[in-house]
Chains A and B, each alone.
Chain A
Amino acid sequence: MSKTTMTRRGVLKTGAVAGAGVALPTIFTASSAAAYTNEPTGSSVTLGFNVPQTGPYADEGNDELLAQQLAVEHLNGEGDGGCLNTFTSKALKGNGILGKKVEFVTGDTQTKSDAARASAKSMIEKDGAIMINGGSSSGVAIAVQGLCQEAGVIFMAGLTHSNDTTGKDRKANGFRHFFNAYMSAAALAPILEKELGADRRAYHLTADYTWGWSQQESIAAATEAMGWETVNNVLTPLASTDFSSYIAPVLNSGADVLVLNHYGGNMVNSLTNAIQFGMMEKVVNNKDFKIVVPLYSELMAAGAGENIKGVFGSMNYNWQLQNEGSKQFVKSFGEKYGKPPSNSAQTCYAQTLLYADACERAGTFNPCGVAEALEGFEFDGLGNGKTMYRADDHQCFKDVLVVKGAENPTNQYDTLEIVEVTPAEQVTYAPNHPMFGGDEASLGTCNAG
């Protein structure tokens, strides 16, 4: 088939149809006018903060938004400067980015891929956003990351824990500061072995979608490697509200550990149900029954209340960390909003600064330049300790926290206690790891629009 003629004829035909309304003389693309998508020309630069503002994760999204606003303040030299004081890169001066004042637009992802893309598109097409930051689910992150790749802007993923985000769905324009399921498993396994022993029988309840599978696979692999047996893995519908019919069979299965591969409302309900069935008081195989929630968040801990006592899990960051960056960030955030930041808030804050810093170091807003500046970048002072953005898959490598529901919390915020700070080396994996798309996975090429 000769495609050139097809194309030409197609153009003529379309021209005839379109001619009825408006003449479309030639094809213009947005990119033909500027060097790259949404090149900032005025005295300001616009960042897009795309977080869930309605639906079950609205509070999570709100926390992210607060952190991002704080970051914008600090970038513009307002407030106490926050982590600009502790950040190891000194490129940022508190005068905006590359001398341009930072402004932001916000959007609502509704935790739905479609809505998130619509909202990101409106920021890019209408408001001229040069980067998109935030989000609270892996599905959304991957969907928006794909969009940003097509549109030619930088995407900084918010809370996304699935291996796929920087695994088989990795994109040259997308970056992830948050940790992932593999890292959770790698950090948790040694602690679980130490605290619970090496001959445990685990029962998995897994949310039936991509992230759930990804996490279950990671945890099962890591725990089986140290000698645990996986008794069963039951997939639960995302829409479930009552988990009693999944919890009840656990008791008679001979398992002595329950792993809840759930997030958000699912996790709050499944854990509540598990406690209702008296699991934490059970003794099975002469061992105390234990529950593990591989991915924790402060809001889930708050939602689960007393039920999380003694339940193990992992986190990307916790405000109780005592390094300089963390102390500075908690102080800024706490004084402004009257509560400590959540770990997704920290991620969104750090990413905003990291993006700005990369622009400064690259001397341009061009996404390809920014991406290059971020790749392989090593830094400290943003709260997580020493961190590195790996060039191969745009995943941050840093310490992972293993946490436990506090037995005696003294206030409503220290419901989780840090058990161990697992060093970055221990959670590092090869970029072509089979759980991350293997050799086939590639970033593709950077798109500047």
Chain B
Amino acid sequence: MLGLNKKDMTLLIAVAVLTMFAPFFLNPFPTDSAMAQFNAGYPDLMQRFVIFGIFAIGFNILFGLTGYLSFGHAAFLGVGSYAAVWIFKLFTYNVVPAILLAVIVAAVFSVLMGYVSLRRSGIYFSILTLAFAQMMFALAYSVLSNPKFNLTNGETGLQVYPNDPQMFHPEGMQDFPHLFGLYMNSTYTMNVGPWAFDFNTGYYLCAVVMLAVFYLAIRIFRSPFGMMLRAIKSNQTRLNYTGLNPRPYTLAAFVISGAYAGLAGGLMAAMDPLAGAERMQWTASGEVVLMTILGGTGTLIGPVLGAGFIKYFENIFSKINDAVLHQWFAFLPDGLEDFVVFIIHPFVGKGWHLTLGILFMLVVIFLPGGLVEGGQRIGKWIKNRGKSEDSDAGPKTEPAE
């Protein structure tokens, strides 16, 4: 169906179910329980999961398939956001033109950057992309926000002011991005007993977009074009000898992934009409690299998992403070409670970076294929367990690999 084989179709359906019912899955704990701290089903974070998922899927098309490690992809996300906010400022709060322009602008930038950077390979390519992105960040942060020519509004971030022209913004409409009248921040909260589930328009827009681009990514992975990109990764020299010029293919992959980043940037601006320069900094580019590797480079679903993993820690673990810890462990005797809080304290709240760093190391040490491999291992383990229960002590025939 849809030109996919059975396995891919299952994956797509699984992802569709997960994203559509995410408000349920991500809020497993009743709102008033102590564990509610771990709930991630509020609109902003759900949107972020999906948007960074799109960003990482796109990045993986370049890095996972061709092996070209770009250290400047955040720049495309940044220009995408700026483009979208400019649409909001000048024309209309409708997200469709904003997102379209974000994709186009990002694609144009990636053609330019890709054309130059792809003249080199390996780490030379990485540093070229890094240099371009850092230059763009530095300019956006200061030079391009000077009062005479304020393109980016610098440190504060580009935002919509009441005195902006907004030519096609009808009177009486709220000042917030919308899809033909559906406001991105409108949320329907469903209360089921002690649980509360948020259904947010913006999230569902992002989710639908993500499904579409995820489908596109699967098609690319399985297409002859994808094969070609893999060939570039495995042995570029040999490819040259067969008389093929790999450059157009890598450039196409670069532009596609740049457009994905622009799409993510446009969606980000649509969810929250502000575009900050930090989005383009090398740390942001590094983050998407980490997401992809962490999830599983070259796998379809890995980057999305990696994105979710990092964003979850950033937004959930950073908010666990001592007061919350004391609340959790209040059932323990006083001395023990303090001790447990003392032990956990360095790893949460302001120490969330530490936890993230440790997890990076653990994942890469024990799961060489990233989180995806973790999933596969669990799957295999369940399967094997089921098997051994069925046929008592059946001999293991599966090879180790």
A and B touch in the complex (CB under 8 A): yes
Q: Report B-chain residues with C-beta under 8 Å of the C-beta of A210.
A: 145, 153-156
**8 A Cβ contacts from A164-180 to B:** 164, 169
**8 A Cβ contacts from B225-258 to A:** none
Cβ contact within 8 Å between A24 and B199: yes
Cβ contact within 8 Å between B156 and A104: no
Q: Report A-chain residues with C-beta under 8 Å of the C-beta of B214.
A: none
Q: Quick check: is A108 within 8 A (CB to CB) of the other chain?
A: yes
| Closest B residue, CB atoms, query A445 | B162
Tally B residues with Cβ within 8 Å of A: 60
Cβ contact within 8 Å between A27 and B183: yes
Q: Quick check: is A146 within 8 A (CB to CB) of the other chain?
A: yes
Cβ contact within 8 Å between A33 and B180: no
Cβ contact within 8 Å between A122 and B142: no
Other-chain residue from A6, A24, A237 in contact with B201 (beta carbon distance below 8 A): A24
**8 A Cβ contacts from A95-134 to B:** 104-108, 112-115, 117-119, 121-123, 125-127
Cβ contact within 8 Å between B142 and A237: yes
Shortest CB distance A142–B (Å): 5
Cβ contact within 8 Å between A113 and B183: no
Q: Report B-chain residues with C-beta under 8 Å of the C-beta of A53.
A: 318, 349-350
A104 and B319 alpha carbons, distance in the complex (Å):
11
Other-chain residue from A69, A108, A442 in contact with B318 (beta carbon distance below 8 A): A108
Interface stretch, picked from B37-45, B118-126, B289-297, is B37-45
Other-chain residue from B44, B162, B170, B278 in contact with A442 (beta carbon distance below 8 A): B162
Cβ contact within 8 Å between A440 and B163: yes
A117 and B353 alpha carbons, distance in the complex (Å):
19
Cβ contact within 8 Å between A7 and B204: no
Interface stretch, picked from B1-9, B185-193, B375-383, B388-396, is B185-193
Cβ contact within 8 Å between B162 and A54: no
Shortest CB distance A60–B (Å): 12
Shortest CB distance B37–A (Å): 9
Q: Quick check: is B108 within 8 A (CB to CB) of the other chain?
A: no
Cβ contact within 8 Å between A139 and B182: no
| Closest B residue, CB atoms, query A51 | B350
Shortest CB distance B47–A (Å): 9
Q: Quick check: is B276 within 8 A (CB to CB) of the other chain?
A: yes
Q: Report B-chain residues with C-beta under 8 Å of the C-beta of A27.
A: 182-183, 186, 188, 201
Report which residue of B39, B147, B274 has the largest number of chain A beta carbons within 10 angstroms of its beta carbon: B274
Cβ contact within 8 Å between A21 and B207: yes
Secondary structure of the A side of the interface? helix
Shortest CB distance A374–B (Å): 22
Cβ contact within 8 Å between A108 and B352: yes
| Closest B residue, CB atoms, query A103 | B323
| Closest B residue, CB atoms, query A30 | B187
Cβ contact within 8 Å between A29 and B186: yes
Q: Quick check: is A17 within 8 A (CB to CB) of the other chain?
A: yes
Q: Report A-chain residues with C-beta under 8 Å of the C-beta of B168.
A: 1
Cβ contact within 8 Å between B187 and A28: yes
Q: Quick check: is A22 within 8 A (CB to CB) of the other chain?
A: yes
Cβ contact within 8 Å between A143 and B349: no
Q: Quick check: is A278 within 8 A (CB to CB) of the other chain?
A: no
Q: Quick check: is B315 within 8 A (CB to CB) of the other chain?
A: yes
A1 and B315 alpha carbons, distance in the complex (Å):
42
Q: Quick check: is A58 within 8 A (CB to CB) of the other chain?
A: yes
Other-chain residue from B43, B138, B170, B186 in contact with A3 (beta carbon distance below 8 A): B170
Q: Quick check: is B216 within 8 A (CB to CB) of the other chain?
A: no
**8 A Cβ contacts from A63-116 to B:** 65, 69, 104-108, 112-115
Secondary structure of the B side of the interface? mixed
> Range of interface residues on chain A?
35 or more
**8 A Cβ contacts from A9-23 to B:** 9-11, 13-14, 17-18, 20-22
Cβ contact within 8 Å between A122 and B45: yes
| Closest B residue, CB atoms, query A18 | B204
Q: Quick check: is A138 within 8 A (CB to CB) of the other chain?
A: yes
Other-chain residue from B153, B199, B278 in contact with A114 (beta carbon distance below 8 A): B278
Other-chain residue from B156, B208, B272 in contact with A164 (beta carbon distance below 8 A): B156
Other-chain residue from B154, B186, B272, B323 in contact with A147 (beta carbon distance below 8 A): B272
Shortest CB distance B320–A (Å): 9
Q: Quick check: is B321 within 8 A (CB to CB) of the other chain?
A: yes
Interface string of B196-209 (1 = CB under 8 A from A): 00110100100110
Shortest CB distance B46–A (Å): 10
Q: Report B-chain residues with C-beta under 8 Å of the C-beta of A378.
A: none
Q: Quick check: is B141 within 8 A (CB to CB) of the other chain?
A: yes
Cβ contact within 8 Å between B315 and A119: yes
Report which residue of A119, A150, A237 has the largest number of chain B beta carbons within 10 angstroms of its beta carbon: A150
Other-chain residue from A13, A114, A444 in contact with B279 (beta carbon distance below 8 A): A114
Cβ contact within 8 Å between B204 and A22: yes
Q: Report B-chain residues with C-beta under 8 Å of the C-beta of A20.
A: 20
Contacts A108-B318, A169-B156 given; does A54 touch B276 at CB 8 Å? no
Q: Report B-chain residues with C-beta under 8 Å of the C-beta of A119.
A: 315, 318-319
A411 and B204 alpha carbons, distance in the complex (Å):
58
Q: Quick check: is B16 within 8 A (CB to CB) of the other chain?
A: yes
Other-chain residue from A121, A125, A143 in contact with B276 (beta carbon distance below 8 A): A143
Cβ contact within 8 Å between A209 and B274: no
Q: Quick check: is B176 within 8 A (CB to CB) of the other chain?
A: yes
Q: Quick check: is B89 within 8 A (CB to CB) of the other chain?
A: no
| Closest B residue, CB atoms, query A26 | B188
Q: Quick check: is B298 within 8 A (CB to CB) of the other chain?
A: no
Q: Quick check: is A436 within 8 A (CB to CB) of the other chain?
A: no
Q: Report B-chain residues with C-beta under 8 Å of the C-beta of A65.
A: 321
A118 and B316 alpha carbons, distance in the complex (Å):
11
Interface string of B136-178 (1 = CB under 8 A from A): 0010011101110000011111010011000010100001100
Cβ contact within 8 Å between A7 and B181: yes
A132 and B389 alpha carbons, distance in the complex (Å):
55
A169 and B162 alpha carbons, distance in the complex (Å):
10
| Closest A residue, CB atoms, query B36 | A126
A208 and B180 alpha carbons, distance in the complex (Å):
40
CB-CB nearest 8 A-B residue pairs: A10-B180, A21-B20, A139-B155, A53-B350, A7-B181, A28-B188, A113-B276, A121-B44
Binding site for A on B (CB under 8 A): 16, 19-21, 39, 42-45, 48, 138, 141-143, 145-147, 153-157, 159, 162-163, 168, 170, 175-176, 179-183, 185-189, 198-199, 201, 204, 207-208, 272, 274, 276, 278-279, 314-315, 318-319, 321, 323, 349-350, 352-353
Contacts A10-B181, A21-B16, A121-B272 aside, 13 further interface pairs with beta carbons under 8 A come to A9-B180, A24-B204, A30-B186, A54-B350, A54-B353, A61-B350, A108-B319, A108-B350, A117-B274, A119-B318, A121-B42, A208-B142, A238-B141
Could you jot down 8 A-B contacts, CB within 8 Å?
A: A27-B188, A106-B349, A117-B274, A143-B157, A150-B175, A164-B156, A210-B154, A444-B162
